[in-house]
Amino acid sequence: MFHFHAQNLFQLEEEEEEEEEDKFDIFVSVKDPEKIGETTLPMFRNKTFTVRRRFSDFLGLYEKLSEKHGPNGFIVPPPPEKSLLGMTKVKVGKEDSSSTDFVERRRGALERYLQRVVNHPSLLQDPDVREFLEREELPRAVSTQALSGAGFLKMINKATDAVSKMTIKMNESDVWFEEKLQEVESADQQFRKLHALVESLVVHRKELSLNTASFAKSAAMLGSAEDNTALSRALSQLAEVEDKMEQLHQEQAANDTFTFAEMIADYIRLLGAVRGSFDHRMKAWQRWQDAQSMLQKKRETEAKLLWANKPDKLQLAKEEIAEWEAKVTQYERDFERVSATVRKEVIRFEREKTKNCKRQIIKYLECLLQSQQQLIKYWEAFLPEAKAIA
Partner 1 sequence: MLQVDISDALSERDKVKFTVHTKSTLPNFKQNEFSVVRQHEEFIWLHDSFVENEEYAGYIIPPAPPRPDFDASREKLQKLGEGEGSMTKEEFTKMKQELEAEYLAIFKKTVAMHEVFLCRVAAHPVLRKDLNFHVFLEYNQDLSVRGKNKKEKLEDFFKNVVKSADGVLVAGVKDVDDFFEHEKTFLLEYHNRVKDASAKSDRMIRSHKSKICFKFEPFFLKVSELFEKTRKIEARIAADEDLKLADLLKYYLRESQAAKDLLYRRSRALVDYENANKALDKARAKNRDVLQAETSQQLCCHKFEKISESAKQELIDFKTRRVAAFRKNLVELAELELKHAKGNLQLLQGCLGILKGNT
List residues binding partner 1 (CB under 8 A): 183, 186-187, 190, 193-194, 197, 200-201, 204-205, 207-208, 211-212, 214-215, 218-219, 221-222, 224-228, 230-231, 234-235, 238, 350, 353-354, 357-358, 361-362, 365-366, 368-369, 372-373, 375-376, 379-380, 382-383, 386-387, 389-390
Contact 100, 250 (CB under 8 A): no
Looking at the Cβ atoms of 91 and 363, the one nearer to partner 1 is: 363
Q: Rounded to the nearest whole angstrom, what is the least distance from the CB of residue 105 to partner 1 in the complex?
A: 20
Contact 267, 189 (CB under 8 A): no
Looking at the Cβ atoms of 168 and 225, the one nearer to partner 1 is: 225
How far apart are the C-alpha atoms of 363 and 368, rounded to whole Å?
Answer: 9
Looking at the Cβ atoms of 92 and 196, the one nearer to partner 1 is: 196
Q: Rounded to the nearest whole angstrom, what is the least distance from the CB of residue 227 to partner 1 in the complex?
A: 6
Q: Rounded to the nearest whole angstrom, what is the least distance from the CB of residue 209 to partner 1 in the complex?
A: 9
Looking at the Cβ atoms of 53 and 205, the one nearer to partner 1 is: 205
Contact 353, 267 (CB under 8 A): yes
Q: Rounded to the nearest whole angstrom, what is the least distance from the CB of residue 218 to partner 1 in the complex?
A: 5
| DSSP notation for 164-203 | HHHHHHS--S-HHHHHHHHHHHHHHHHHHHHHHHHHHHHH
Looking at the Cβ atoms of 153 and 230, the one nearer to partner 1 is: 230
Looking at the Cβ atoms of 76 and 235, the one nearer to partner 1 is: 235
Q: Rounded to the nearest whole angstrom, what is the least distance from the CB of residue 246 to partner 1 in the complex?
A: 11
Looking at the Cβ atoms of 145 and 200, the one nearer to partner 1 is: 200
Residue 170's nearest CA partner among 296, 290, 285, 337 is: 285
Looking at the Cβ atoms of 262 and 334, the one nearer to partner 1 is: 262
- What three-state secondary structure class fits 212? helix
Q: How many helices (H) and strands (E) does the chain have?
A: 10, 3
Looking at the Cβ atoms of 65 and 346, the one nearer to partner 1 is: 346
To the nearest 10 degrees (0 to 180), the angle between helices 311-387 and 175-225 is: 30
Q: Rounded to the nearest whole angstrom, what is the least distance from the CB of residue 81 to partner 1 in the complex?
A: 23
Beta strands in the chain (DSSP E): 3-8, 26-31, 48-53
Element (H, E) at 379: helix 311-387
Q: Rounded to the nearest whole angstrom, what is the least distance from the CB of residue 175 to partner 1 in the complex?
A: 16
| DSSP notation for 50-67 | EEEE-HHHHHHHHHHHHH
Q: Rounded to the nearest whole angstrom, what is the least distance from the CB of residue 198 to partner 1 in the complex?
A: 8
Q: Rounded to the nearest whole angstrom, what is the least distance from the CB of residue 232 to partner 1 in the complex?
A: 10
Q: Rounded to the nearest whole angstrom, what is the least distance from the CB of residue 60 to partner 1 in the complex?
A: 31
Instruction: Return all residues near 173 (Cβ < 8 A) that are at least 6 apart.
Output: none
Residue 152's nearest CA partner among 88, 87, 104, 80 is: 80
Q: Would you tell me how many other CB atoms lie within 10 Å of the CB of residue 158?
A: 11
Element (H, E) at 95: none
Residue 74's nearest CA partner among 341, 350, 335 is: 341
How far apart are the C-alpha atoms of 129 and 106, rounded to whole Å?
Answer: 20
Largest CA-CA distance found in the chain, in angstroms, rounded: 118
Looking at the Cβ atoms of 34 and 178, the one nearer to partner 1 is: 178
Q: How distant, in Å, are the alpha carbons of 231, 233, 238, 244, 385 from that of 221?
A: 13, 11, 11, 17, 18
